[in-house]
Structure 1
């Protein structure tokens, strides 16, 4: 495999670097040194060529309705199974009403990539994500109760400026 192919593979293993290349905000020498693939000047040149071939990041707005549901918990631990419809269910683990958490629910133009952007932004705001999932046209992010309002604002802001 060529050094250029190795550089592209290394970038794809680091989504933050791929997004930075697409945004045009990379110090190529520093990025090349961090990849540790050999001749830093050659790797930096390969990164520049790769960046030229990538589509630029574009901001778009997602048409979603965002709501907050307080009092969510793990069925079987925090709440009993009679609490009604689950807010989120993953591989048999369910979160439903009656617990110490808050669910932020977005309905509409959602996707796994949109969820990824939300989780990244929540992490940047130091908001703990206890659970998250997307299926069909519904997305749910579960956070500690006290962080619910802040998480709601992050999800709404992400829907207004989502980078693809």
Structure 2
């Protein structure tokens, strides 16, 4: 059963979508993803509204919501997960790179890999210190030589 926040985001993105935009995005982006046809502005606004409806989400709630949104291979849901993480990057931890790595592996398209790497992973890495920063650096080095092209792409952006 979806969480109330995920249900709100999914319902709103479906409502904001257009069949015309969904078809155009599917043709332009592809990757075997489904598309609702919601604009980037609508996605950002929906995540912002979800934050107002569900204030004070903890670290675990934020990462669980991102995972719940990512679960379905729908471009707008996955972009909403990235927008959520972008807005909450200050509460992310080095060990969240494990979950983010799974997102990257399953991203399917550069349009999801790039903002996840540049707008979530990079600011997270910039905040880490000491042993946590060293561990993260080793993870990114491993990504650079991983067989998965999405991980190599993310590492190159960092």
Which structure is higher in helix share?
2
Q: With structure 2 as the length reference, what TM-score do the two structures score? A: 0.23
Larger-Rg structure = 1
Q: With structure 1 as the length reference, what TM-score do the two structures score? A: 0.22
